[in-house]
Chain A
Amino acid sequence: MKRTTGAVAITSAAALLLSACGGDSSEENTDSGAAAEESADDPAAEEDDAAEDEEAAGDDAASTEAPVRDENAELVIWSDDVRAPILTEWAEQFGEEYGITTQVQVATDVRQQFKDAANVDQGPDIVVGAHDWLGEFVQNGIVSPVQMSSDTQGMFTEDSLAATMYDGQIYGVPYATESLGVIRNTALAPDAPATMEELVSTGQELVDAGDADQPMVTVVSSVGDAYHAYPYLSAYGGGIFGTNDDGGWDAQNVIVDSEETIQGAEKMAWLAEENALNVNIDFPTMESLFAEGRTPYMIAGPWTIPNVEGADIEYAIDPIPDFEDGGDPVPFLGVQMFYVASGAQNPTLAQEFVNTYVTTEDMQLALFEAGQRPPALQSALDTVSAEDEDIEAWSAAGEGASPMPNIPAMNAVWQPLGQATADIVSGSDPAERLEAAQEEIVSNIGR
Chain B
Amino acid sequence: MMSETERSERDAALQSLEPTGEGLEFSSRTPLWVQIVKWGSIGLSIVVLGWMAQQIIEAGHWLMVSMVGFIALCVIAVYATRRAIPAKYLFPGVLLMLLLQIWPLVYTVQISFTNFGDGHISSKEEAIASITSNSVREVEGSSRYALNIAVPEGSDVATGDVAYLLTDAEDNYYVGTLDGLEELPADGVEAGPTGRIISAPGWTTLTPQQVNERSADLADFGVPVFDDAGEQTAGIKQVGLSEAFVGTPTKVYDEEADTITDTVTGTVYVAEDANFVPENGEGAALPQGWREFVGFDNYTSAFTNPTLREGLTKVFVWNVFFAAFTVGATFILGMAIAILMNDERLKGKAIYRSILILPYALPIYVTALVWASMFNQDFGLINGLFGLDIPWLTNAWWARAALLLTNLWLGFPYWFIVCTGALQAIPNDVKEAAQIDGAGPLTTIRKVIMPLLLVAVGPLMIASFAFNFNNFSLIWLFNQGGPFVGGQSSIGSTDLLISLAYRLALGGATPSFGFASAISVIIFFLVATISYFGFRQTAALEDVN
* The residue from A14, A15, A348, A409 contacting B212, defined by CB atoms under 8 A apart: A348
Residues on the B chain within 8 Å of A14, using CB: 358, 361-362
| B-side contacts of A408, CB under 8 Å | 118-119, 287, 509-510
Contact of A280 with B376 at beta-carbon distance under 8 Å, contacts A99-B207, A222-B479, A408-B287 already known: yes
B426 at the binding interface (Cβ < 8 Å): no
* Chain A, Cβ-Cβ closest to B214: A348
Determine if B361 and A7 form an interchain contact, defined as CB atoms under 8 angstroms apart.
yes
A418 within 8 A of B: yes
Q: How many angstroms from the CA of A284 to the CA of B366 in the assembled complex?
A: 14
Q: Which of B133, B136, B237, B362 contacts A15 (CB 8 A)?
A: B362
A285 and B209 in contact, given A5-B363, A223-B484 (Cβ under 8 angstroms): no
B298 at the binding interface (Cβ < 8 Å): no
Whether the pair A3, B373 counts as a contact (CB closer than 8 A) is no
How far does the Cβ of B215 sit from chain A's closest Cβ, in whole Å? 6
Q: Would you call A280 and B379 a contact (CB within 8 A)?
A: yes
Within the assembled complex, what's the spacing in Å between the Cα atoms of A74 and B213? 9
Tell me if B489 and A26 are in contact (CB < 8 A).
no
Judged by a CB distance under 8 angstroms, whether A366 is at the interface is: no
Q: Which residue of A lies closest to B358 (CB)?
A: A14
Question: Is A278's CB under 8 angstroms from B378's CB?
Answer: yes
Q: A28-B376, A345-B215, A349-B208 are in contact. Are A147 and B369 (CB under 8 A)?
A: no
Residues of A within 8 A of B393 (CB): 222, 280
Q: Among the interface residues A2, A11, A353, which one has the most CB atoms of the partner chain B within 10 A?
A: A2
Question: Is A140 interfacial (CB 8 A cutoff)?
Answer: yes
* Nearest CB in chain B: distance from A219 CB, A: 13
Establish whether residues A42 and B507, one from each chain, have CB atoms under 8 Å apart when the complex forms: yes
A141–B209 CA distance with the chains assembled, in angstroms: 27
Q: Closest CB-CB distance, A136 to chain B, in whole Å?
A: 6
Q: Assess whether B126 is in contact with A145, with CB atoms less than 8 Å apart.
A: no
- Interface pick from B8-16, B23-31, B77-85, B407-415: B407-415
B239 interface hit (Cβ, 8 Å): yes
Given A35-B369, A36-B366, A440-B488, are A26 and B374 neighbors across the interface (CB < 8 Å)? yes
Please provide the chain A residues from 99 to 156 with a CB less than 8 Å away from any CB of chain B in the complex: 99-100, 119-121, 135-136, 138-141, 144-149
CB of A39 to closest CB in B, whole Å: 6
Knowing A2-B414, A15-B363, A25-B381 touch, does A348 contact B240 (C-beta < 8 A)?
A: yes
Which stretch, A193-201, A230-238, A420-428, touches the partner chain B?
A420-428
How far is B489's CA from A279's CA once the two chains are assembled, in angstroms?
15
Complex CA gap A136/B118 in Å reads 7
| Contact of A412 with B508 in the complex, beta carbons under 8 Å | yes
Q: Is B319 in contact with chain A by the CB < 8 A criterion?
A: no
* Residues of the B chain whose Cβ atoms lie less than 8 Å from the Cβ of A35: 369, 373
| Structural contact, A284 and B373, CB atoms closer than 8 A | yes
Q: Give the chain B neighbours of A121 by CB distance below 8 A.
A: 59
Q: A10-B361, A140-B121, A149-B144 are in contact. Are A420 and B288 (CB under 8 A)?
A: no
How many Å lie between the Cα of A265 and that of B435 in the bound state? 72
CB distance from B327 to the nearest CB of A (A): 8
The answer to whether A169 and B209 have CB atoms under 8 Å apart is no
Q: Is the CB of B378 within 8 A of A356?
A: no
Instruction: Evaluate whether A98 and B241 lie within 8 angstroms (CB atoms) in the complex, with A18-B362, A419-B484 already known.
Output: yes
Decide if B468 is an interface residue (CB 8 Å cutoff): yes
Q: Digitize B464-494: 1 where CB-to-A-CB distance is under 8 Å, 0 elsewhere.
A: 1001100000001101101110011110000
Interface residues of B in 207-250 (CB under 8 A from A): 207-209, 211-212, 215, 218-219, 237-243, 245, 247
Q: Is A147 in contact with B245, judged by CB distance below 8 angstroms?
A: yes
A168 within 8 A of B: yes
Total interface residues in chain B, CB < 8 Å = 91
Q: Which residues from B are CB-within-8-Å of A93?
A: none
State whether B363 touches A141 (Cβ < 8 A). Answer: no
A348 touches B243 (CB 8 A): no
From 100 to 145 in chain B, residues with beta carbon under 8 angstroms from any chain A beta carbon are 118-119, 121-122, 126-127, 130, 133-138, 144
Does A268 reach chain B (CB closer than 8 Å)? no
Does residue B380 face the partner (Cβ distance < 8 Å to A)?
Answer: yes
A346, B358: Cα distance in complex, Å: 50
Q: Which of B431-472 contact A (CB under 8 A)?
A: 460, 463-464, 467-468
Q: Chain A, 246-269, contact with B by CB distance < 8 Å: what is the 0/1 string? A: 000001100000000000000000
How many residues of chain A are within 8 Å of chain B by beta carbon?
Answer: 94
Q: Cβ of A326 < 8 Å from any Cβ of B? A: no
Query: Cα distance A35–B374 when bound, in Å?
Result: 13
Determine if B45 is an interface residue (Cβ-Cβ < 8 Å).
no
Q: Which residues of B contact A89 (CB under 8 A)?
A: none
Closest Cβ of chain B to A343, distance in Å, is 10
CB distance from A426 to the nearest CB of B (A): 7
Contact A348:B238 (CB < 8 A) given known A74-B212, A140-B118? yes
In contact, B288 and A138 (Cβ under 8 angstroms): yes
Is A139 touching B287 in the complex (CB atoms < 8 A)?
A: yes
Nearest A residue (CB) for B237: A147
A139 and B215 alpha carbons, distance in the complex (Å):
24
Let me know if A98 and B361 touch, CB within 8 A: no
**Chain A residues near B509 (CB-CB < 8 A):** 408-409, 411-412, 444-445, 447
- Measured between C-beta atoms, what is the minimum distance from A193 to chain B in Å? 24
Judged by a CB distance under 8 angstroms, whether A27 is at the interface is: yes
Report whether A351 and B239 are in contact in the complex, using a CB–CB cutoff of 8 Å. yes
A19 CB contacts on chain B under 8 angstroms = 366, 370
State the Cβ distance, B55 to closest chain A Cβ, in Å.
11
A355-B381 in contact given A14-B358, A100-B212 (Cβ < 8 Å): no
Give the chain B neighbours of A10 by CB distance below 8 A.
358, 361
Q: Which of A40, A285, A445 contacts B477 (CB 8 A)?
A: A40
Complex formed: what's the CA distance from A42 to B477 in Å?
11
Which residues of chain B come closer than 8 Å to A251, judged between CB atoms? 284
Alpha-carbon separation in the docked complex, A440 to B507 (Å): 13
What is the CB-to-nearest-CB distance from B372 to chain A, in angstroms, rounded to a whole number?
A: 8
Rounded to whole angstroms, the CA-CA distance of A139 and B394 in the bound complex is: 36
Which residues on the B side are within 8 Å of A416 (C-beta)? 488-489
Contact A74 B209 (CB under 8 A): yes
- Across the A-B interface, the 8 shortest Cβ-Cβ residue pairs: A352-B240, A412-B509, A6-B361, A1-B411, A26-B381, A141-B130, A419-B489, A98-B208
12 pairs, CB–CB < 8 Å, chain A vs chain B: A6-B360, A15-B362, A26-B381, A28-B379, A74-B212, A141-B127, A167-B287, A285-B373, A411-B507, A416-B489, A419-B489, A437-B487
Task: Given contacts A1-B467, A22-B370, A74-B209, list 11 more A-B pairs with CB under 8 A.
Answer: A27-B384, A35-B369, A98-B241, A139-B289, A141-B122, A280-B394, A281-B379, A348-B215, A352-B241, A419-B488, A420-B489
